[in-house]
Amino acid sequence: MSKISIIGTGNMARTIGARAMAGGNTVEIMGRDQSKAAGLAKALGDGATTGEWGTTPAGDLVIVALLYNGVVPAVAHYGDALAGKVIVDISNPFNSTFDGLAHGEETSIAQEVAKVAPAGARVVKAFNTVFRHVLEKGRPDVFIAGDDAEAKASVEAFIESLGLRPLDVGGLKMAHWLEGAGVVTVGLANHGVGNVDFALSITELPV
């Protein structure tokens, strides 16, 4: 069981929050709009709480469920309130044509988050290759990247509590390529697969 705080009140916050509750974790919702946060916490049911935007989250894992361009500003705004926390970046910084990233090579939203995160905070990239409705209905593999082994272990334990398989791809630098894997996933939806009812995964031999 993990103590989770989710920064954000949108669809991905609701989906992760619901799965987190179902997995026996405690969930706190933090939104700029306190009434939206309260509404989502109520929808998630008994035990879900709300916290005030910008204050120290109750959770050990802080999942930032905002549009990609809001993630770094939010972490910077929280500042020292995130000291010692594991910050989970789930964002997909797609370019306008969905065939590349909104930022250049050699970085990722997760790496930019690490630059503004307070001392003692550890950043893990996760969930970005999973379409929201697949996370709602399915059992997708969840790829993760990060530099801190303890932080990754805590995220892996959370992912396993959701009945999902965490798959570590390496250090935080790999977040760039996980964001690229998000681009590949959208490319598959728009071309070879033709729908979004799938998840990027691994198949083990014998296949």
**Interface residue list for a second copy (CB under 8 A):** 99-100, 104-106, 134, 137-141, 143-145, 166-171, 173-174, 176-178, 180-181, 183-184, 187-188, 190-193, 197-207
Strand partners, 51: 30
CB of 180 to a second copy, least distance (A): 4
The pair of three-digit structure tokens given for residue 22, joined into one six-digit string: 């179902």
Q: Which is nearer to a second copy, 34 or 161 (CB)?
A: 161
| Rounded Cα gap, residues 67 and 138, in angstroms | 23
CB of 111 to a second copy, least distance (A): 12
CB of 55 to a second copy, least distance (A): 34
CB of 32 to a second copy, least distance (A): 33
Measured on CA atoms in the order 175, 172, 75, 53, is the torsion positive or negative? positive
Measured on CA atoms in the order 178, 181, 185, 186, is the torsion positive or negative? positive
Q: Which is nearer to a second copy, 23 or 166 (CB)?
A: 166
Nearest CA among 74, 64, 71, 17 for reference residue 40? 17
Q: Which is nearer to a second copy, 73 or 187 (CB)?
A: 187
